[in-house]
Every structure is written in C-alpha cells, then in structure tokens.
Amino acid sequence: MFTIEHDFDATVITLVDEGSEHLEEDVVIQAFEECVTIEQLDPRDDQVVKIILSMRQVQELAAALDLPEGVYRLRKKGG
C-alpha cells in the first residue's frame, strides 16, 4: 500500500509494508524540485535514516530497474 500527498514544496510518497511475516518500517519519499529524499526508521537504534538523491541519480535508478547486469551511462537526448 502507498499514499501520495502534494505539499507546497514537495510530493510525499509513503510506502507501507504489508502482507508478509516480517514487516519493514514505512518508507517516506519526498520529491523536491532539486532532489529526492528517502527516509526510513531504523528500529535497532530508533533513528531515521535519510538518503538524498540528485535528480540525475533518480533518472539512473529508474533506468536501472529495467536493465540487466552491467555498467551503464545515460545519454542526454540528442547527444
């Protein structure tokens, strides 16, 4: 299950783990104009872990989800 909310400066997506024996903590993804942040509570130390991706890294991640093993470099359109 997931939720989508549109805030003033970001789109917030929350991924809720359900349906398995070992449930993971919710993942909160915030998409800003200049970056995307991914946050998840680490229950071992009760701290939120945050990862910040540039928009280029988000594009590469999206492309990587559909590719086989290998090393890749995305090209700009027309280049």
pLDDT in tens, 6-25: 999 999 999 999 987 889 99
What is the enclosing helix (H) or strand (E) of 60?
helix 55-64
What's this model's pTM, rounded to 2 decimal places? 0.84
Q: Is residue 74 part of a domain?
A: no
Other residues' Cβ atoms within 10 Å of the Cβ of residue 29: 20
For 59, the domain range is 2-64
32-56 pLDDT per residue, tens: 999 999 999 999 999 999 999 999 9
Establish if 36 belongs to a structural domain: yes
Number of structural domains (the chain) is 1
Look at residue 30 and tell me whether its pLDDT is greater than 60.
Answer: yes
Share of the chain above pLDDT 70, in %: 99
70 in a domain, yes or no?
A: no
In sequence order, the 6+-apart residues with CB closer than 8 A to the CB of 27 are 14, 15, 38, 39, 40
pLDDT of residue 26: 96
β-pairing, 2-6 vs 27-31, is: unpaired
